[in-house]
Structure 1
Amino acid sequence: MKKYTFIALIFLNAFCGYGQEKKLKSADKNYDQYAYVDAIKTYERLADKGYKSEDLFKKLGDSYYFNSDYENAAKWYGELFTMNPSPEAEYYYRYAQSLKSKGETDKADKILAEFNSLYKNDSRGKLYRQNGNYLDQIKANSGRYQIEDAGINSKYSDYGSFVYDNKIYFASARDTGNFTKRIHKWTGEYFTNIYNAAIDSQNGTASKVNKFKPLNSKFNESSLVFTKDGNTVYFTRNNFLNGKKGKNESDATLVKLYRANLVNGKWTNITTLPFTSDDYSTAHPALSSDEKTLYFASDMPGTIGQSDIYKVSINGNSYGTPENLGKEINTEGKETFPYVTSENEIYFASDGHPGLGGLDVFVGQLDSNGVVSNIQNLGSDINSPKDDFAYIIDTATRRGYFSSNRDGGQGSDDIYKFLETRRLKCTQELNGVITDAATGAVLPEAKVTLYENQAIKKSVLSNSEGQYRFDVECGKTYSVRAEKQEYATKEVLVTIGNASGKTSLPIALDKSVCKVTVGDDLGKCFGIKMIYFDLDKSDITAAAALDLAKILDVLSQNPTMKLDIRSYTDSRASREYNKALSDRRAKATISWLVKNGVSKNRLTGKGYGETALVNRCSDGVQCSEEEHQQNRRSEFIITGV
């Protein structure tokens, strides 16, 4: 697959006319210089004549693997394993990936199991062990797309699309029509340039393809991203600027990220980004929604695998220090072609996470600190046994594009357009009606609050018909609290199903029958028997805060009410210790209420330890846990109204 020019992140300048060297030394030289097309020819001639060696089989397998010819890669890796059943770790993984691409999943999984047992610290093996049912997960994530040819493909490699201003931009190795044909010896195809085509904003249908000349050079360009205002573009190019070609110590020209500016209608000021280098590659730029962060792929120092995904902050025309996104997303394999959406999802291609073979497309969730979680394979619509990558999506229309060298395409890589018909992130609508339990009358303007793990997710007021609704995630358990003046507050637990749809949760409220006066325990109105604390601690927990919020609400609605807060323990500790602990807890309760807006002069309280037991469970008496719990209680005694 021709995108390996930018996935393996390496480049070699080459022209037509292949040498016919037959000696192994010449083949090794071609291999070392990434001229895989020539290396294959020579190595196979040697193999046909009966020459065998581990090194030969490794290099033949790799030459095909790096060009995404997995069938032939599997053939030569098979010869390697016949000669040496225990080669280095990377060959276990490449052989398994090649077998999966051929459809030999069972054999591939067996190789991966051996790989994991021998190389326990390799994250790829760990991921397969932790996701033993990965094929079931992929199946569950499939059937969500309508996919078509994008209408811009040629018989050559076409890949890496980006849409801006109703045009699709992409890289292509198609014949440019020049008299001099520049051939890349890694792939055997022409060098890539950037092209574009106008597209229909409704269905993605493309018109005539044109070369995007302002950014193209005589070497490779690919994968670009525009800023929203269209005045800046980031793109990938071989290390070539102002007619000069940069090289590393091995005399190889790598790839770099470049930036250009639109000035008076012309693209100018083409410069390399300051964190690039002649000694490592940077490629495939993607911007965060706020355009303050640039994501990219690189094999720079600190890379975990063959290529990792990085991010760097953008501060006007300056940039921060690149940061590796970490082991949550990056493996010892290849992670590349990032794309970040306005919903803080990061799509990327990887051969290190469990997939169908070759590169698969995955999606993860980015938190506010840039940490990636909940990584999932997109399923067998987007992914295939071959290489699938460069996925982009419009989050509003759910339309987008991706690249693949799957069977049935026009060239070695092709661009496909898609419509996502079902979100991978399973969501539901949680709705219901708030009513009077006795009469069935709807209750408008009831406060309805959604909690997850004791944390407030959202609060709404029921509408004129008593209705409320929340967007929730499938498979999660929530608590819904309904409150209305003159009614007793009610909380209901609900577990959302595992499929998209709706869950109905009607809530009927009882009229408040708790008429309190001085001397009454306000906590009894809400069934609050105790404010829970962690063992041996006096900090207010999230669970305790839920009950205290009920007390807070009553105090807010009754601004002259005063409370005496009393905390009690059971007898299982010394009297002195229990007295001190209960006193700290009473004071912590008062502090929480004051912090949340209650005037301190409305509250008193202290701890009474085990001095007012409600049953027989004093020191030395054998009691059940339930009996002891009756003594561990909190009281909210009304001292003024």
Structure 2
Amino acid sequence: MKKYITLSLILLLTVSYAQNKSTEKADKLFESYQYIGAIDEYLKLADSKNANQYVYTQLAESYYNVFNTSEASKWYAKATKEKNVAEIYYHYAETLKVQGKYQEANKQMDIFASLSPNDSRAKEHKANPNYIPSLANKSKMFDIAETNIKSNGQSDFGAVLTNENTLYFVSTRNSSKKTDKWINQPYLDIFKATRSESGTFSEPTSVSELNTAYHDGPVTISSDGNTMYFARDGHSEGQYENNKSTKTKIGQQGLYKATKKDGKWTQIEALPFNSTSYSITHPSLSKDGKTLYFASNMPNSLGESDIWKVSIEANGYGKPQNLGPNVNTPGKENFPFITDDNTLYFASSGKQGFGGLDVFKVDLNKKEEAQNVGKPVNSEKDDFSLSFNTTANVGYFASNRNGTDAIFAATPVCVAEAIAVVSNKQTGAILTNATVSILDTKGNTIETKQTNSEGKVSYDIECQTAYTFVVKADNFETESFPIQKTKSGQVIVQAQLVPSEVIITETEVILKNVYFDFDKSNITAQGANELDKLVKVMKENPSMVIFVKSHTDSKGKSNYNIKLSERRAQSTVQYLLSKGITKDRVSGKGFGNSEPKIKCEPCSEEENAQNRRSEFVIVKK
């Protein structure tokens, strides 16, 4: 997994119980990031008289840091019996989300928000606690597929495709005997593979001139393919701090620049703002080569790790700048990737997601909030390091959804825009604040919006997919308008509405006919739509009293038609009562075929349909 990346970015919790002599051995292992060994020692303490909140928290954190979320949640549950440390509840909620236990995670987030109400994560939770359904149902941005870059039990991530179809990535698949004591896996090396026209890759090979005995990568490549920035463990350069209490050398991630010469990467130089006090990692270079984005926990970070940028100047580098709260949170933000059109992809554990790290995107040309890219890129597990090659129209990201970090391909879903322009069919006047819903092919409402001052509303839609607009406006007939399939671009629908035909005279309320099917007395959809207009009129005129007259066609015997029309009258009355009209304001009676609207002999089917109706006599205005 990518654990070395966050090694120096982990926020160690401070709890009410102090370290003591009994935890000294376990604490030294924990503080030197040897979490596997620390777990063994804390487990011994958890089964002894020395068990307390501190031990439980350290155990949970140790498991959390090696991404064993089931064990982490078990010990977080024990640690939260004393409600005094907000961050414990946040981490507990995160482990529950990874396991798909969203309701239980919400309970822990409620406590977190009560303990730390000003935290941006708490505010986001309180504003939208049950966000998962809407997140899961949002329009798909990418289709994904596994790649043939696989290794048995090893971790691969940080893939970046150059314009020459070379894929660089980092992996633990190296043959080195040196291992990271944190996760008992080999240190990371930089590898490369060649992409074919079909999207498959050649057998990966080590970029030997860049790899050391410690962690190397991930990388970013300039548009011309001749300049690389990459991350490297400080141990490789002798850049580390000695921790005398734990007798360990603690190195940080730093960024380095390399230049390609004769097919090899040479002239490796450290960037001037590297430090032994904090990490700088996950580089991403803008298309023009003038801005470098990266992740760091340097001073003035908003959270455990933030996304930063720095200008690349003729004589060096500018001052690193934090991207601010639209991107960063008190949690972890890392793995930035900047596209050719200035869209930033990054991974976050501090924004609302499915669990673990989720991939987000934000257009840096606009002042907007970052948005979750949704499924299938994101899952309940860790999903991160999404990069995108515009020329090949393909992205690559990593996920541990199958147990080990692996590289997946992400192809953008073709998205078009459907625009409804709503107007009065009779006058051509635009209609503002009309309600426009977009429906899928099964008739499910996807989203509803109101038209703007230009009578317009727009939705992003998938290409080659049919949709329907359903448009409503006061005093107009509700209409449906099909949206034709499109390959790309815009589909503009002229949604012209007909004014409602509700006429109130001295003696009756005249609607469109409330028709009944042959030999039926139930209210049809068309009838309900008309009766709703009557309900509106009666609610606007609270003293109005209505007498419903129901009629049949000339088919059948008179006695039967009287009974049928009576059922129709009562169905109509019952519908009005169900909409809140009181019993003293509405009554009805059936008249059979004694008062036909159209006198005919014999009658056509259309004439019979018009005679099957209800009328609405005003008894009192």
* TM-score when normalising by structure 2: 0.65
Letter matched to residue 76 of structure 1: W
The structure-2 alpha-carbon separation of the partners of 1:161 and 1:263, relative to structure 1 and needing over 3 Å to count, comes to: same
The structure-2 alpha-carbon separation of the partners of 1:287 and 1:344, relative to structure 1 and needing over 3 Å to count, comes to: same
Tell me the alpha carbon deviations over residues 236-260 of structure 1, each in whole angstroms, 9 at most, x when there is no partner: 100145x534336774111101111
Q: Which residue of 1 aligns with 2:285?
A: 287
> 2:240 is matched with which residue: 243, 246, 261?
246
Confirm whether residue 427 of structure 1 aligns to residue 424 of structure 2: no
Displacement, 1:396? Answer: 5.3
Confirm whether residue 192 of structure 1 aligns to residue 198 of structure 2: no
Tell me the alpha carbon deviations over residues 517-564 of structure 1, each in whole angstroms, 9 at most, x when there is no partner: xxxxxxxxxxxxxxxxxxxxxxxxxxxxxxxxxxxxxxxxxxxxxxxx
Q: Which residue of 2 aligns with 1:94?
A: 91
* Equivalent-residue separation in structure 2 for 1:309 and 1:497 (angstroms): 31
Displacement, 1:343? Answer: 2.5
The structure-2 alpha-carbon separation of the partners of 1:239 and 1:10, relative to structure 1 and needing over 3 Å to count, comes to: farther
Displacement, 1:54? Answer: 1.1
Letter matched to residue 286 of structure 2: S
> 1:401 is matched with which residue: 396, 403, 414?
396
Which residues of 2 match residues 57-68 of structure 1 at below 5 A?
A: 57-68=56-67
Letter matched to residue 69 of structure 1: N
How many equivalent pairs are there?
433
The structure-2 alpha-carbon separation of the partners of 1:156 and 1:87, relative to structure 1 and needing over 3 Å to count, comes to: farther
Letter matched to residue 183 of structure 1: T
* 3-state secondary structure, aligned to 1:9: helix
Displacement, 1:133? Answer: 4.2
Q: Which residue of 1 aligns with 2:272?
A: 274
Q: Which residue of 2 aligns with 1:70?
A: 69
Which residues of 2 match residues 115-514 of structure 1 at below 5 A?
A: 115-141=112-138, 143-154=140-151, 155-164=153-162, 165-176=164-175, 178=176, 181-201=177-197, 203-240=198-235, 244-247=238-241, 251-367=249-365, 373-395=368-390, 397-406=392-401, 408-409=402-403, 412-423=404-415, 427-428=417-418, 493-497=455-459, 499-500=461-462, 502-504=490-492
Answer whether contact 1:23 1:42 (CA < 8 A) is retained. Answer: no
The structure-2 alpha-carbon separation of the partners of 1:431 and 1:186, relative to structure 1 and needing over 3 Å to count, comes to: same
Answer whether contact 1:431 1:503 (CA < 8 A) is retained. Answer: no
Q: Which residue of 1 aligns with 2:596?
A: none
The structure-2 alpha-carbon separation of the partners of 1:306 and 1:122, relative to structure 1 and needing over 3 Å to count, comes to: same
* Equivalent-residue separation in structure 2 for 1:87 and 1:151 (angstroms): 48
The structure-2 alpha-carbon separation of the partners of 1:360 and 1:507, relative to structure 1 and needing over 3 Å to count, comes to: closer
The structure-2 alpha-carbon separation of the partners of 1:254 and 1:60, relative to structure 1 and needing over 3 Å to count, comes to: same
* Equivalent-residue separation in structure 1 for 2:128 and 2:41 (angstroms): 41
Tell me: higher relative CO, structure 1 or 2? Use CA pairs within 8 A at least 6 residues apart.
1
Cα RMSD over matched residues? 3.0
* 3-state secondary structure, aligned to 1:390: strand
* Equivalent-residue separation in structure 1 for 2:182 and 2:136 (angstroms): 35
* 3-state secondary structure, aligned to 2:57: helix
The structure-2 alpha-carbon separation of the partners of 1:261 and 1:118, relative to structure 1 and needing over 3 Å to count, comes to: same
Displacement, 1:323? Answer: 0.4
The structure-2 alpha-carbon separation of the partners of 1:167 and 1:57, relative to structure 1 and needing over 3 Å to count, comes to: same
* Equivalent-residue separation in structure 2 for 1:143 and 1:69 (angstroms): 29
* Equivalent-residue separation in structure 2 for 1:75 and 1:238 (angstroms): 33
> 2:109 is matched with which residue: 112, 117, 127?
112
The structure-2 alpha-carbon separation of the partners of 1:367 and 1:418, relative to structure 1 and needing over 3 Å to count, comes to: closer
* Equivalent-residue separation in structure 1 for 2:450 and 2:393 (angstroms): 25
Answer whether contact 1:9 1:298 (CA < 8 A) is retained. Answer: no
Displacement, 1:400? Answer: 1.4
* TM-score when normalising by structure 1: 0.63
* Equivalent-residue separation in structure 2 for 1:87 and 1:398 (angstroms): 49
* 3-state secondary structure, aligned to 1:97: helix
Answer whether contact 2:239 2:276 (CA < 8 A) is retained. Answer: no
Answer whether contact 1:428 1:503 (CA < 8 A) is retained. Answer: yes
* Equivalent-residue separation in structure 1 for 2:109 and 2:414 (angstroms): 32
* Equivalent-residue separation in structure 2 for 1:106 and 1:345 (angstroms): 33
Answer whether contact 2:174 2:189 (CA < 8 A) is retained. Answer: no
The structure-2 alpha-carbon separation of the partners of 1:207 and 1:342, relative to structure 1 and needing over 3 Å to count, comes to: same
Letter matched to residue 65 of structure 1: Y
Answer whether contact 1:145 1:421 (CA < 8 A) is retained. Answer: yes
Letter matched to residue 195 of structure 2: I
Answer whether contact 2:209 2:265 (CA < 8 A) is retained. Answer: yes
* 3-state secondary structure, aligned to 1:208: coil
Q: Which residue of 1 aligns with 2:24?
A: 25
Answer whether contact 1:8 1:306 (CA < 8 A) is retained. Answer: no
Q: Which residue of 2 aligns with 1:52?
A: 51
* 3-state secondary structure, aligned to 1:200: coil
Gaps of 5+ in 2: 11-20, 428-447, 463-485, 497-621
Letter matched to residue 108 of structure 2: I
Displacement, 1:143? Answer: 4.3
* 3-state secondary structure, aligned to 1:213: coil
Gaps of 5+ in 1: 12-21, 438-473, 480-491, 509-641
